[in-house]
Structure 1
């Protein structure tokens, strides 16, 4: 197995990739700023959260659309373990489309945690309004990058709400969510986890800093291979990471490279038909000892089925990787061997972002705006919010 080396300064950035490239690389620095913001608001956050977390039967709902929905999936199990309450990840698109199915128990106290880069998507504000209408008691923690967005403005001075803003640089100017996603992830894990999620802080920052220089040649070479589709695999919290990684590749390549997310066990149940000799695989290997066994099983199987170099394991530690698949490649995340998977996802998603960036450049697409004709928009358009009967 091979590891990703720490390298020298990156070369010049191609035209049309300036924002996306910078926003991927800035993440270790803005993560430190995000943690400082949470520390500065610690007293206010505790005053807001403590009475809620003491409520018998509290339900925490993590919500967002697209990439922001995957944020909830990544942090759900870590927060459930820390908080000792029911924590669910439910997309705003599901809340808006099927309100009664998402909020069945009107009397159950609920904390709705909303993730939103711009806070301007129609579903973002509608989901909070629906929750207020259908639930007797609903508080709101809004984690967003845009202080002037409709979601932040609606909840900024409102009783029963707390708005946690990321650093302004995290409101990505590029099309795809990169540093916005990871800052919101980190904000949720710090604000609600209160230091009990392993692997946050300096360890995650250092691991990502090793990856971001462009001369991490193996990541670039993998992305620039003549592959026409990719599979992203992960289990537990890393299932949502696989979904986000597949979405990033689809977005930045303008839909020209197919991507399929699945779990290590679920892949064999039909989705394996997606494989061709020109398929690349990114497998996010869990740090959980039990879950890891299943990841290593599928690593062994896929490394034996595909040409050399087309299967990559992204992992916090090396044990078992070489035994499972000696010819496979590994991108090891230093310092993350004991991290919870939700924290491991922070530097791991940087790998996926870099793959998507360089796959886009290989195809001659401008990652900052992969849909110049406006077929898909940075902030979703064309959504009608229908009245709730």
Structure 2
């Protein structure tokens, strides 16, 4: 076990305690997740193989908040590499309008992501799928062995509980987000074939940590009032997660937004002021990368925003954070190391505002596990 994972728990009163620890442990939680999947590969594949052999199977990736953005990031990529349509639909959408999202006659594999597995919408989405779909199946990926999702059982259900270290104790999801995302990527890409890729991604994370930590701490000192994250393709979902992470960790004190580089010109660019930081997650796909670089070039030429930072696996001129070892990697492999600087920026911004990153909401209106949700019966 790594030094990070086996370190003693942070002491109460350390403002950075769990949040910082959980960001820094991600190289090791990634390796631990892949090791767990290899150990359980036979059981996972025995459950999935007959389902994936069905041409009529509908696959839906679901979760709430950050867990939903895992699906947003992975669905386009997995659809391409698996040659079948894979949808990302948040549990909050399924629960509030099940008739729009569930189809009785379509055999469905609902892939549920949940850090705690105790969100009311997570359980309700599973229950609704059971009730409204004629042939429902469930793959549950969670970080909490004691959560409601982890306790789901049945011949049509397979539960993957990730290493306990991924069950983030802090408010904001960090290592739980990357571990669940990687688990799904590995499962649907082929667990054995992900072995080498997992190590490269983990090394990219580890070798980025120090530089990214220092760079994000310095950026926060500029006192930006608005931060925009841009990403194309699979990286659009990641931009959404990055935006949420900063919003959560600063308790809404900073204005955050996300978009694609091409979409940003169509109105959302109005957000730009001289106190705006724009972060562009740059794709490795040659065509997509051209559009990303066009936006970076345009923003820098206009010189209207406070700063433009490119996060790229390939070396770039100008202000850029280079993520090493992944110059030729698929964009799906960039998802995990690219979120690291956004997590660190959120952490440092939270500290600069005098907040406690582990519990950044002074009012208590948002919580680690969502509260106050009433699940209404259909037709009631």
TM-score category (smaller protein) = over 0.9
Q: 1:141 maps to which residue?
A: 139
Q: 2:176 maps to which residue?
A: 180
Q: Does 1:336 align with 2:326?
A: yes
Q: 1:5 maps to which residue?
A: none
Q: 2:159 aligned to 157, 160, 163, which one? A: 163
Q: List structure 1 segments (4+ residues) > 6 angstroms apart after TM superposition.
A: none
Corresponding residue pairs, total: 368
Q: 1:221 aligned to 218, 222, 233, which one? A: 218
Q: 1:268 maps to which residue?
A: 265
**C-alpha distance in 2, partners of 1:268/1:215?**
28
Q: CA offsets per residue over residues 145-172 of structure 1, 9 Å max, x none?
A: 011111111x2x3111111111101111
Q: 1:113 maps to which residue?
A: 111
Cα distance change on mapping 1:198 and 1:311 into 2, 3 Å: farther
Q: CA offsets per residue over residues 28-72 of structure 1, 9 Å max, x none?
A: 011000001110111001100000001122111000000000001
In structure 1, stretches of 5+ residues that fail to align are 1-11, 323-327
Q: How does 1:287-306 map to 2 (within 5 A)?
A: 287-306=284-303
TM-score by length of 1: 0.91
Task: Decide whether the 8 Å contact of 1:143 with 1:165 is kept in 2.
Answer: yes
Q: Does 1:345 align with 2:331?
A: no
Task: Decide whether the 8 Å contact of 1:55 with 1:109 is kept in 2.
Answer: no
Q: In the TM superposition, what is the alpha-carbon distance from 1:210 to its structure 2 partner?
A: 1.8
Structure 1, 157-166 or 278-287: larger mean CA deviation? 157-166
Q: Please tell me the root mean square deviation across aligned C-alpha atoms, in Å.
A: 1.9
Q: Give 3-state SS (helix, strand or coil) of 2:49's partner.
A: helix
Q: 1:17 maps to which residue?
A: 16
Q: Give 3-state SS (helix, strand or coil) of 2:232's partner.
A: coil
Q: CA offsets per residue over residues 295-325 of structure 1, 9 Å max, x none?
A: 011101112233797110001112xx43xxx
Task: Decide whether the 8 Å contact of 1:199 with 1:339 is kept in 2.
Answer: no
TM-score by length of 2: 0.93
Q: How does 1:53-64 map to 2 (within 5 A)?
A: 53-64=52-63
Q: Give 3-state SS (helix, strand or coil) of 2:261's partner.
A: coil
**C-alpha distance in 2, partners of 1:168/1:351?**
24
Q: In the TM superposition, what is the alpha-carbon distance from 1:213 to its structure 2 partner?
A: 3.0
Structure 1, 229-238 or 211-220: larger mean CA deviation? 211-220
Q: CA offsets per residue over residues 88-139 of structure 1, 9 Å max, x none?
A: 0000000001101101x32111110000000111000000111111111111
**C-alpha distance in 2, partners of 1:158/1:80?**
27
Task: Decide whether the 8 Å contact of 1:78 with 1:197 is kept in 2.
Answer: no
Q: 1:131 maps to which residue?
A: 129
Q: Give 3-state SS (helix, strand or coil) of 1:312's partner.
A: strand
Q: CA offsets per residue over residues 348-374 of structure 1, 9 Å max, x none?
A: 001110111111111111111101331
Q: 1:377 aligned to 355, 367, 373, which one? A: 367
Cα distance change on mapping 1:237 and 1:199 into 2, 3 Å: farther
Q: In the TM superposition, what is the alpha-carbon distance from 1:199 to its structure 2 partner?
A: 7.9
Q: 2:120 aligned to 105, 109, 122, which one? A: 122
Cα distance change on mapping 1:225 and 1:292 into 2, 3 Å: same
